[in-house]
Amino acid sequence: MRRKKRRNNAAKVIIFVIILFLGLTLIVYMQRTGGGGAPGGGLSIPFLGAATGGNQIDIPVSPGGERPTSADGSGGGAPQPGAADGSGSSDSGRGSGRGGGAGSAERNAGSGERNAGSGERGGRGERGNAAAGERNAGSSNRTQTGGNAAAGAQTGNNAAGAARNIAVVRVTPVVLGSIENSIIVNGDVIASRQVSLYPQLAGKIAALQKRVGDAVSTSEVVAYIDPSKPGEVFANSPLRSTIGGTVIQAPFNVGDTVSTQSAIYIVGDLTSLVIETYIPERFTGSIKKGLAAEIYFDSIPDETFAGLVREVSPIIDPASRTMRIQIQFVHQDPRIRSGMFATISLVINTKRGVPVIPRNTVINTYGRWIVFVVDDKNTAQRREVATGLESDTEVEIVSGLQPGEKVVSAGQNFLSDGDPLRITE
């Protein structure tokens, strides 16, 4: 029995603490919101009274968060005699309401004060609403004024953007002309006829009759070979040139032992020089005899020599994937010598009477070719074109332009469609 009573008492204490905590929380909330339900802005908590012994507890809460005082400046009003039977006056009823006494008169008086307080707070609420309305009206006016200012700024920006800067450009007309497509290769100058002279017998070189650069005629003796061996003496064997020309190479000296596979001299006809070069496999389909070529030499700058393809190999070298060709000069020049390094431009395709424009007028944008055309109002018009053959300086226009139209040839990289133009020469 004692344990059961202790458990009941402990449960009551826990319930009381919980209820007290909830009540204090509610008091704090009413102080912050400026409301209340007890007389004079106080808070009445009947269930606390039940938990504490059956009496109702009225906790005073002033609208400003201060403890209410009585008329004489003391703390909460004390209960007046007679309050217990409800016969107290209105003043004593109000005091008893603040002090926590019980009675119908006190509760009625408290209710009256609560209503009065609610009315007063309602009045403050109306004034607050009116003030809030004024603030909202002010905010609306400020917002409207700011919107007008922003709209004016946007209008100014639009007006500034509408006035485009005039671009200074140069133009060139679309004309009908000829265009050539070419490839660039390198080659060496060699003699058109060139032979190596081999001895008929092995032995020692007894005599050399010619030096490099000497002229040689056909069947002329150029060297003597001694085929003698120890214990055997033979007459010298002459070496004759098979062609007429100039000695290009003489790699041996008198007394050298040579075999029948040793080239004593290399003789070539330097009156007819050619260029030997090799063409990549992808261009071999466009190469044929008689194809025109332009030839350049580093040792003879600022001059171009004309040539023609005279020989085309019927096979392609499987190791280098190239095809050998020879190019002859249209006019021989004494300044050109065998062994010189040449740069050759081969024209593999030619078109005549087609629209052409300078190559720098065309702009590649995301894989598309565009130009800027000048209209009658000196305005740039962006136009897409299709190109054909290309040379170093010009490009063929397949579609998109007509002969006589003017395209921008300088200053087009920074243009936009519709830009006003000022044309200079």
**Separation CA 242–CA 258 (nearest Å):** 19
The count of residues in the chain is: 425
The bridge status of strand 341-358 relative to strand 394-399 is antiparallel
At 346 the pLDDT is: 92
Q: What is the per-residue pLDDT for 120?
A: 39
Asked if residues 97 and 107 have their Cβ atoms less than 8 Å apart, the reply is: yes
Q: What is the pLDDT of residue 2?
A: 67
Q: What's the distance, CA 88 to chain centroid?
A: 92
Query: Tokens representing 11?
Result: 């449960």
Tens digit of each residue's pLDDT (9 = 90 or more) over 352-408: 889 999 988 999 888 889 999 998 888 889 999 999 888 888 899 999 888 989 999
Among 43-57, 130-144, 151-165, 308-322, the range of highest mean pLDDT: 308-322
Report pLDDT digits (tens) over 240-296.
999 999 999 999 999 999 999 999 999 998 888 999 999 999 999 889 999 999 999
Specify the range with the lowest mean pLDDT, choosing from 23-27, 139-143, 268-272, 286-290: 139-143
Average pLDDT over residues 74-93: 38
Of residues 140 and 320, more confidence is placed in: 320
CATH architecture observed for domain 199-263: Beta Barrel (2.40)
3-state helix, strand, coil in the chain (%, to 5): 30, 40, 30
How confident is the model over 302-326, as a mean pLDDT? 94
Q: At what angle do helices 104-162 and 90-99 cross, to 10 degrees?
A: 70
Alpha carbons within 13 A on the beta-carbon side of 251: 9
Each residue of 204-214: pLDDT tens digit? 999 999 999 89
Sequence spans of domains, the chain? 2-123, 173-182+272-423, 199-263
CB within 8 Å of 180: residues ≥ 6 apart: 347, 349, 350, 351, 389, 391
- Residue 422 has what pLDDT? 84
Which pLDDT score, from 0 to 100, does residue 312 have? 95
Phi and psi (nearest 5°) for 376? Answer: -65, -20
Q: What mean pLDDT is reported for the chain? A: 75
**Alpha carbon distance 274, 49 (integer Å):** 128
Residue 170 near residue 411, CB atoms below 8 Å: yes
Domains 173-182+272-423 and 199-263 in one fold: no
Give the residue with greater pLDDT, 281 vs 8: 281
CATH code linked to domain 173-182+272-423:
2.40.30.170
Query: For residue 10, what pLDDT band results from cuts at 50, 70 and 90?
Result: confident
pLDDT at 65 over 70: no
State how far Cα 190 lies from the chain centre.
52
Whole-structure pTM value: 0.47
Confidence band for 62, pLDDT divided at 50, 70 and 90: very low
Check whether 39 has a pLDDT greater than 70: no
The 3-state DSSP class for residue 381 equals strand
Quickly state the pLDDT bin for 101 (edges 50, 70, 90). very low
Mean pLDDT to the nearest integer, 407-421: 86
Confidence band for 34, pLDDT divided at 50, 70 and 90? low
Distances (CA, A) of 312 to 171, 180, 275, 324: 44, 21, 12, 6
pLDDT in tens, 125-134: 334 343 333 4
Band (pLDDT 50/70/90 cuts) for residue 224 is very high
- Is residue 186 within a helix (H) or strand (E), and if so which, with residue range? strand 175-197
pLDDT reading at 117 higher than 50: no
Half-sphere exposure of 15 (CA within 13 A, CB side): 11
**Would you say residue 1 has pLDDT above 50?**
yes
The pLDDT value recorded for residue 350 is 85
Q: E strands, 286-414, where?
A: 292-297, 300-312, 322-329, 341-358, 363-365, 368-374, 380-390, 394-399, 406-410
Q: Is the pLDDT of residue 179 over 50?
A: yes
